[in-house]
Structure 1
Amino acid sequence: MTEFVISIEQARTIPWPSAQSHKHSRGRLAVICGGKLQTGGARLAAAAGHRIGAGWVSLIASPESATILACHETERLIIERLPEQSLSSLCADFDAVVLGPAFGLTGDQASDVLDMVMGFPKPLLLDADALTLIAQSGHDGPLWQAVQARTAPTILTPHSGEFTRLAGPFDPDKKEEASLMLAQDLGAIVVHKGAETWVAAPDGRLASSDLATPFCASAGTGDVLAGLIGGLLAQSMPAFEAACAAVWIHATAANRVGPGLTAGDLIAALPAVLNDLVPAGLRAW
């Protein structure tokens, strides 16, 4: 088992564009949207993925949700999903996908999560409602087993409630051990969020961060973290390293905002945080 504290050194390893880069070479990220009254989580994740460097970010939504998104989005492409289209087919040309924020908890959504887990052969981040659906499936259920069977990188980003639904009650003083056990059970990276966040990998790697501010206890901040990780995955950053870097960047942005923080403030704070990380040769001055 290898354990370390996440620091600025992990954040500095994020991908940077070159003079030859263009929007498609910087990675294509898809974020799956929920119902027409639940578009906010996906929008936050998509904006964060865009800010962290993914060159092409799209929101995939039902016709009803797409209409709502079209009233707000100017920088992200909206892909309208028709009833007969599977999510995995619509995501085929993307490099990474974020699925779960405000997605919904019906049988149809469970089928969509299963389709993506089984049918999308690239990095997949599962958050929020997707985690609850996996937990409801149970350890012997199709969703749980499908996650175990994935060979492409998979990241789960549960808060404490979602983690308990997935893994059962755990000793808060042994959060790292519980996180590692779930990562090894599912064969996935687990980002166990909280005042102390643990990133656990199936191969035994563990990383922790206690940088989070209590002002980050605000709706939508987890969606931003999901988008940051997704944006790094779309740029081909390895999953464990992407999770660690995103955790540091997310917490640092939150600390810079401080009191009054809402999720959108994190996204607005990202350029200043990233500017402190960018290699000298890429600076704008």
Structure 2
Amino acid sequence: MADDLAPAASLQAWWGMHQEIDTLIITPRDMGRIDAAAAASGLASYGLMERAGQAVAAAALRRFPGAHRFVVLCGPGNNGGDGYVAARALEAAGAEVAVHALGDPSALRGDAAIALRHFGGAPRALAEYGPRPGDVVVDALFGAGLSRDLPDEAVQVVEAVRRHALPVLAVDLPSGIDGRTGEVRGAAFEAVATVTFMCRKPGHLLLPGRTLSGDVEVFDIGIPGRILAVHAGHVRVNTPYVWRLAEPQQTGATHKYVRGHLAVFSGPATATGAARLSAAAGLRAGAGLVTVLSPTDALFANAARLTGVMLKDVDGEADLAALLEDERLKTFVLGPGFGDAGRARAYAGLIAAKGRRLVLDADGISAFRDTPDALFGLFAGGDTRLVLTPHDGEFARLFPDLAGDGTLSKIDRAQKAAARSHAAVILKGADTVIAAPDGRALVNENAPPWLATAGSGDVLAGIVGAHLTQGMPAFEAAASAVWRHGEAGSIAGKGLTAEDLPEAIPPWPAA
């Protein structure tokens, strides 16, 4: 029996490993270590380059069958070596190929020099390239390791290709994109598609690199997963695989208090809509009970629009303190439409003192702009009980030094902010990053562009609160909420408003 089960168990382990690899995001520095470790393990480094270049050629032929000519632009390093392999493979397939090199090809060393020798042709200078109709550009100038501005000679070619609206297939990453930050270094190609190797890099997922990379194909060139696992950092793509084991489990004994009680603070009578959006999302995302905590002057405005969500008047610290005596009330959302900075700080203090969980959003974040360390001190130590959901402007109010540091990527900023605040941080945007105090980080990619609408963030805060109150750890609650929020945007479709989102929140994904 054991022998019969062994193949299935091995397959499951293999599949699990490759699912993990599929989620990895590798920085250029770590990719350099992986390449070195692969060579040290006995893998022929030129063999890896050969497989990479062949993959680029295959993608070029598949994607552009009508190309009149493939123009391969080769740089002075290993990215250029990939280009020479691709050029040779394209010629062998019968395509017309022109190769142009940046710098002196005779100065190439190592695998790139071998690739040039196997190509056998004489590349022309990069400056000699003259675009013509029917060209497809294969960009092998610089890969993900670029950390300086493009040289003027390359910038001129980028501009010429753009003027002629020629399609570009990028090797590893469009030249001009910083592989660590996703930023444009002076100028950059805008690719129809990018072929990268083993894993995606931050520049494929962070803006504007994500937009400029086009469709990203990840090709396995043969580096073992064990080497990737040893040298990879703690950054992943946000997918259910990462957090599925933390999903709330429903059993026959489940009742509404097991699923958790979530409370959302309302703003004054003229600003109640944001809290109701959060509350509706929290209920739809799985909280067993949701209560809007409303100032007295807003009770009628809220009562007229709430059905499944309960309502409770809270007019100050004494009211909240009394409410906190109920141990079943575990999680709070504070900030959407709240308005009163002083009261927000006081409420956060009471919630922290009672050991409850808090999602701090919008006005709740801005309330601590002058005293961020006071907020961080409230939730320091122990399990992470605070989730912060800032957009870039709100992030700068709590972390002005991190926001102003141009050397940091968005991932770096979120990681440092999470460590400083002892919070799970959702740094929002089209390339939302979720970070934990221990250094783990995820980059989200499933949110459609039409999700950027007023009130969308209020819905996200409610989903986070629902996940927290069902017992999920803060980081996993935040990451899964961001993913379900993105799925809701796709389900609701183009033209959605925030009011459409709660009903579009999907069930938990199948395991």
Superposition TM-score, scaled by structure 1 size: 0.88
Question: Partners in 2 of 1:4 and 1:237 — Cα distance?
Answer: 19
Question: Partners in 2 of 1:242 and 1:167 — Cα distance?
Answer: 23
Correspondence for 2:363: 129
User: Quick one: which of 254, 262, 269 aligns to 1:36?
Assistant: 269
Question: Partners in 2 of 1:191 and 1:9 — Cα distance?
Answer: 19
- Deviation of the 1:92 alpha carbon: 4.0
Q: Deviations over 1:171-205 (max 9, x none)?
A: 49700001111111111110101011111111111
Which stretches in structure 2 are left out of the alignment for 5+ residues? 1-232
- 1:179 equivalent to 2:414? Answer yes
- 1:212 equivalent to 2:444? Answer no
Cα gap change, 1:36 to 1:91, in 2 (>3 Å): farther
- 1:166 equivalent to 2:398? Answer yes
- Deviation of the 1:86 alpha carbon: 4.3
Identity of aligned residues (%): 37
Q: SS in structure 2 opposite 1:230?
A: helix
What count of residue pairs does the alignment treat as equivalent?
273
User: Quick one: which of 378, 382, 386 aligns to 1:146?
Assistant: 378
Superposition TM-score, scaled by structure 2 size: 0.51
Q: What RMSD over aligned residues (CA atoms) do the two structures have, in Å?
A: 2.1
Q: 8 Å contact 1:121–1:152 — kept in the other structure?
A: no
Correspondence for 2:296: 63
Q: SS in structure 2 opposite 1:21?
A: coil
- 1:4 equivalent to 2:236? Answer yes
Residue range with higher mean Cα deviation, 105-114 or 59-68? 105-114
Correspondence for 1:224: 459
Question: Partners in 2 of 1:236 and 1:128 — Cα distance?
Answer: 24
- 1:199 equivalent to 2:434? Answer yes
Correspondence for 2:497: 262
- 1:87 equivalent to 2:320? Answer yes
Q: 8 Å contact 1:15–1:235 — kept in the other structure?
A: yes
Question: Partners in 2 of 1:108 and 1:22 — Cα distance?
Answer: 33
Cα gap change, 1:152 to 1:179, in 2 (>3 Å): closer
Q: Deviations over 1:142-182 (max 9, x none)?
A: 33432446755111010111111211224497000011111
Cα gap change, 1:2 to 1:225, in 2 (>3 Å): same
- 1:97 equivalent to 2:329? Answer no
Cα gap change, 1:262 to 1:138, in 2 (>3 Å): same
Cα gap change, 1:70 to 1:115, in 2 (>3 Å): same
Cα gap change, 1:262 to 1:172, in 2 (>3 Å): farther
Correspondence for 2:423: 188
Cα gap change, 1:52 to 1:172, in 2 (>3 Å): farther
Structure of higher RCO (CA pairs closer than 8 Å, 6+ residues apart): 1
- Deviation of the 1:99 alpha carbon: 0.9
Cα gap change, 1:170 to 1:39, in 2 (>3 Å): farther
AA aligned to 1:127 is D
Q: 8 Å contact 1:195–1:212 — kept in the other structure?
A: yes
Q: 8 Å contact 1:91–1:97 — kept in the other structure?
A: no
Q: Deviations over 1:53-85 (max 9, x none)?
A: 111111111111122111111111111124462
Correspondence for 2:387: 155
- Deviation of the 1:12 alpha carbon: 4.3
AA aligned to 1:131 is I
AA aligned to 1:240 is F
Cα gap change, 1:82 to 1:166, in 2 (>3 Å): closer
Alignment of 1:41-56 (within 5 A): 41-56=274-289
Q: 8 Å contact 1:134–1:144 — kept in the other structure?
A: no
Q: 8 Å contact 1:30–1:91 — kept in the other structure?
A: no
Residue range with higher mean Cα deviation, 239-248 or 209-218? 209-218
- Deviation of the 1:120 alpha carbon: 3.2
Cα gap change, 1:149 to 1:21, in 2 (>3 Å): closer
Correspondence for 2:310: 77
User: Quick one: which of 471, 481, 484 aligns to 1:236?
Assistant: 471
Q: SS in structure 2 opposite 1:136?
A: coil
Q: SS in structure 2 opposite 1:252?
A: helix
- Deviation of the 1:113 alpha carbon: 3.0
Correspondence for 1:283: none
Q: Flag the structure with larger Rg.
A: 2
